[in-house]
Structure 1
């Protein structure tokens, strides 16, 4: 994926998903894992129900997928991808290091 496309995905996610308000210096939850297969989150198995925080990295293997609910949107990390979830100015987003991400909104 080109750098231009990665920036577009990060901007698209930032525009679609607002992070919930947090408190103080605690890490703010950006979303929750809905479904996972052959993937890791924070270098461990990302089980459904796991909270996603700013700075978390999702890595999917061949045939792997992760679906994360972020506000009203759902982000799907496709096979053989690496994505870092982020927050900037209270807006959630993600940087696609490599691979593919899909975004669905209601």
Structure 2
């Protein structure tokens, strides 16, 4: 992502990586939610823009360690299923509607 971006986004191409069980490697602007989402779920390595040595180190880890690459890729696919699938969206909508109905 560009260091000049001021809005946060979730690039659609990441969903394509996740569906193929590919690990995510990238850099984002400070304060971007994507960093915590990917890193906390061990679905890849996201760093802040300008942390070039950390980004390079993560790229090396993924390049040289096939088992790590596979595990992180599997985690990325699981994150996709848990957070971005139709079933996940439907459950979230049902939960919100249930909360709304309780308050009305």
TM-score (norm 1): 0.25
Which structure shows the higher helix fraction? Answer: 2
Which structure shows the higher strand fraction? Answer: 1
Higher Cα Rg, which structure: 2
